[in-house]
């Protein structure tokens, strides 16, 4: 038994991603996203009987309380950092197919409100002792830059090739109402001309921290068929994780997707060749590129030439991050990784408007 | 060796007792790492359990290692997260694979500033540890390029 | 009204801007609650969305409500978590159901020590708000018994 075809997303809600969210809190933003999602799903708040949150800063019970969600039968945190949203969908799917709940609300988000302080707190772990004394760059820049450099050395990947990731996604974001960069075009050369934050990462290859939130409703296949929406069926799921820090792990230029993708493919009965478009986690160009090759979209080590040769805009032969992704929309905390699920569902529902992809039935998402 | 050192000093957040031999080693200008008697290999960073075979603490010993290795990968930091590093940017923040097999973070120094800015450092460059007594309490390990062999 | 107040003051952690009208109200010795124009009801604590119907912020207004209600439940605290409360223990920490329909936490004051220790306070006891200016900045809402 697997969850192939057993669960579906029937509603999505996403707030515009904003550089700052003055006056707003995380809980408040989550509420706004939840409201949009239940409306989209044509269900009532009272129909929600399950909730999946990130689980660290947002206990399911705190969120349920703030949002007045009663009679929650199933609640948990997915606690997978950037992958919390996608993992939340997997968890919700398992919950509904096994009868733990009927309508599970998955929601992620963060506020960016100077009045509330916040942001920039380090994680526990070895970083403060063994990395920070040597002058790390901001956020996760340092580790991903070193992965980038290693990938260049190992496979001949070039910055020129990966700049296409950023410029193609910016094209996709130009008419996205929910993008912080709506209408702000950049060229491939602009990416290459942008300053180094830390070599080989240039400014336009890194995400911009933002505020925002997103939500989705997952229900059983049976309920989905009876619903008034165009359901998005979950056909295969795989999860995997790696060391928190980049540096101890042996397979430095390989992501956990090398382990999660085969599981999802096997469950679904599809192969990389069948995938029509992809929505992939993209805090940095290199991370997205590496995960795509680990998912078999290009042979290992050949993602650079793939980007140089492929139109990955929504008009292209293999669309990737059709809403601009995080690189060209902004990263509202964990709603950043969740946006890949939301946009994939939006495309399959046929609600992507001007950026609707031509072949919209089978999407591969990496959170 | 000054009390005016403005950059972050090591903050042992996980378990100061476990990592202490490492920092005692650097004060003597020596590189020490944990060695697992179970699977017979070194690892880094210091832990209470072997990350390779989950051997318990009583199977882990500290050994002085060669202090030589290669640049596994690196990034040139043009925009440091902390202002205290700004005046020496760009500089190299590298992942070093020591000859004993473990990986450790550090700066690669002793490279002309124009080579740093031009990202001339090669992956696999041979390096050896140099020790910088940044305060009376703390000595950091950095790395400098050396010839093959 | 002393700067030596040792007990914890309100720390608006969710969103100070949203809860501000509540505390401005207490300073005027008035009880203000959010009212949802969508489902037509009050709620507490202050939020950016209605916890009953998820109506958005622009459908939520602030209203002064009668500072009256009933004791929904209570506990008599003999061993406070914080030492600053120790000298006045035992005291009553209660959940008040307001006539306006929402619930709010507060102390019920004005009982004799014997009444407190004898658990003389009855559930459903009608109460009204008393406002205590604990510092120049903060006024807390407490409750005292009134005749039904």
Residue ranges per domain, chain B?
13-65, 66-149
Interchain pair C56, A67: CB under 8 A: no
CA distance A129 to chain B (A): 4
A47 touches chain C (CB under 8 A): no
Which pLDDT band, with edges at 50, 70 and 90, does A112 fall under?
confident
Q: Is residue C74 domain-shared with residue C85, that is, in the same domain?
A: yes
Coil, helix or strand at residue B118? coil
Please indicate, yes or no, if residue A152 is contained in any of the structural domains. no
Q: Is residue C127 domain-shared with residue C138, that is, in the same domain?
A: yes
C89 touches chain A (CB under 8 A): no
Instruction: Select from C25, C42, C65 the last residue of a domain.
Output: C65
CA-angle at A165, arms to A162 and A168, nearest 5°: 135
A25 touches chain C (CB under 8 A): yes
Tell me what the mean pLDDT of segment A48-70 comes to: 88
Please indicate, yes or no, if residue C6 is contained in any of the structural domains. no
Q: Is residue C118 domain-shared with residue C55, that is, in the same domain?
A: no
Q: Is residue C61 domain-shared with residue C77, that is, in the same domain?
A: no
Here the ipTM equals 0.83
**pLDDT per residue as tens digits for the range A176-229:** 999 999 999 999 999 999 999 999 999 999 999 999 999 999 999 999 999 999
CATH of the domain at C90: 2.40.50.840
Q: Is residue C77 domain-shared with residue C141, that is, in the same domain?
A: yes
- Strands of the sheet containing B32-36, edge to edge, are B41-43, B32-36, B60-64
Cis peptide before C90 (omega within 30 of 0): yes
C49 closest CB neighbour out of A23, A35, A116: A35
Please indicate, yes or no, if residue A147 is contained in any of the structural domains. no
Residues on chain A bordering chain B, Cβ-to-Cβ distance under 8 angstroms: 124-139, 141-142, 145-150, 153, 195-201, 246-248, 252
Helices (H), B1-149: 16-27, 113-117
**pLDDT per residue as tens digits for the range A287-323:** 999 999 999 999 999 999 999 999 999 999 999 999 9
CB neighbourhood size of C68 (10 A)? 16
B123 closest CB neighbour out of A137, A149, A247: A149
Q: Is residue C58 domain-shared with residue C102, that is, in the same domain?
A: no
Q: Is residue C59 domain-shared with residue C87, that is, in the same domain?
A: no
Please indicate, yes or no, if residue C142 is contained in any of the structural domains. yes
pTM for this structure?
Answer: 0.83
**Is residue B54 pLDDT above 90, yes or no?**
no
Domains contained in chain C, number: 2
CATH of the domain at A212: 3.40.47.10
**Is residue A120 pLDDT above 50, yes or no?**
no
Coil, helix or strand at residue A169? helix
Q: Which domain holds residue C46?
A: 14-65
**Is residue A91 pLDDT above 80, yes or no?**
yes
Coil, helix or strand at residue C101? coil
Which structure tokens are listed for C141? Answer: 């809402």
Return the number of CB contacts < 8 Å for A and B: 128
Q: Is residue C43 domain-shared with residue C59, that is, in the same domain?
A: yes
Tell me what the mean pLDDT of segment A232-248 comes to: 81
Q: Is residue C40 domain-shared with residue C90, that is, in the same domain?
A: no
Domains contained in chain A, number: 1
Q: Which fold has domain B66-149?
A: OB fold (Dihydrolipoamide Acetyltransferase, E2P) (2.40.50)
Q: Is residue C76 domain-shared with residue C57, that is, in the same domain?
A: no
Q: Which domain holds residue A324?
A: 7-115+207-366
C105 touches chain A (CB under 8 A): no
């Amino acid at each position: 038994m697997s969850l192939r075809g057993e669960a579906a997303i029937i509603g999505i809600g996403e707030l515009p991603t904003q550089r700052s969210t003055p006056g707003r809190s995380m809980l408040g933003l989550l509420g706004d996203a939840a409201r949009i999602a239940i409306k989209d799903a044509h269900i009532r708040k009272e129909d929600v009987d399950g909730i999946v949150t990130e689980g660290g800063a947002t206990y399911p019970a705190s969120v349920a309380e703030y949002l007045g969600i009663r009679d929650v039968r199933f609640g948990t945190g997915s606690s997978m950092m950037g992958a919390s949203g996608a993992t939340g969908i997997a968890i919700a799917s398992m919950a509904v197919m096994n009868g733990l709940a009927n309508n599970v609300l998955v929601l992620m988000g963060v506020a960016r409100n100077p009045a509330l302080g916040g942001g920039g707190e380090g994680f526990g772990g070895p970083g403060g002792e063994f990395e920070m004394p040597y002058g790390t760059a901001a956020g996760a820049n340092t580790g991903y830059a070193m992965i980038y450099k290693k990938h260049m050395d190992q496979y001949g990947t070039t910055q020129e090739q990966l700049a296409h990731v950023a410029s193609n996604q910016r094209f996709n974001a130009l008419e996205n109402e929910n993008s912080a960069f709506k209408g702000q075009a950049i060229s491939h050369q602009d990416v290459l001309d942008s300053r180094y934050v830390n070599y080989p990462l240039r400014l336009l290859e890194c995400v911009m921290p933002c505020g925002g939130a997103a939500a989705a409703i997952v229900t059983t296949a049976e309920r989905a068929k009876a619903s008034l929406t165009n359901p998005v069926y979950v056909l295969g799921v795989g999860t995997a994780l790696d060391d928190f820090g980049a540096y101890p792990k042996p397979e430095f230029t390989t992501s956990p997707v090398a382990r999660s993708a085969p599981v999802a493919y096997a469950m679904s009965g599809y192969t990389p060749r069948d995938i029509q478009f992809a929505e992939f986690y993209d805090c940095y160009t290199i991370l997205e590129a590496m995960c795509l090759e680990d998912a078999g979209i290009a042979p290992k080590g050949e993602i650079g030439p793939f980007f140089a040769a492929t139109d990955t805009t929504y008009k292209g032969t293999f669309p990737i991050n059709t809403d601009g992704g995080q690189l060209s929309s902004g990263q509202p905390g964990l709603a950043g990784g969740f946006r890949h699920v939301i946009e994939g569902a939006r495309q399959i529902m046929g609600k992507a408007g001007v950026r609707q992809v031509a072949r919209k039935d089978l999407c591969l998402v990496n959170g | 060796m000054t009390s005016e050192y403005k950059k972050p000093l090591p903050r042992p957040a996980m378990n100061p007792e476990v990592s202490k031999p490492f920092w005692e080693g650097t004060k003597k200008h020596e590189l020490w790492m944990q060695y697992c008697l179970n699977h017979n290999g070194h690892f880094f960073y210091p832990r209470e359990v072997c990350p390779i075979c989950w051997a318990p603490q009583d199977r882990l010993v500290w050994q002085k290692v060669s202090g030589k290795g290669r640049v596994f990968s690196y990034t040139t930091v043009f925009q440091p997260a902390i202002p205290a590093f700004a005046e020496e940017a760009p500089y190299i923040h590298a992942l070093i694979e020591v000859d004993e097999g473990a990986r450790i973070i550090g700066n690669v120094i002793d490279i002309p500033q124009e080579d740093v800015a031009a990202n001339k450092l090669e992956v696999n460059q041979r390096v050896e540890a140099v020790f910088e007594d940044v305060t009376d309490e703390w000595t950091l390990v950095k790395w400098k390029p050396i010839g093959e062999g | 009204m002393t700067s030596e107040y040792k007990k914890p003051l309100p720390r608006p952690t969710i969103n100070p801007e949203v809860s501000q009208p509540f505390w401005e109200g207490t300073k005027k010795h008035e009880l203000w609650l959010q009212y949802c124009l969508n489902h037509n009801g009050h709620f507490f604590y202050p939020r950016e969305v209605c916890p009953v119907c998820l109506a958005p912020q622009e459908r939520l207004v602030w209203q002064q409500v009668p500072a009256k209600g009933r004791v929904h439940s209570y506990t008599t605290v003999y061993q406070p978590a914080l030492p600053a409360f120790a000298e006045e223990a035992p005291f009553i920490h209660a959940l008040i159901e307001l006539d306006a329909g929402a619930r709010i936490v507060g102390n019920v004051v004005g009982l004799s020590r014997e009444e407190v220790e004898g658990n003389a306070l009855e559930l459903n006891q009608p109460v009204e708000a008393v406002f205590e200016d604990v510092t120049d900045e903060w006024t807390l809402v407490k409750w005292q018994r009134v005749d039904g």
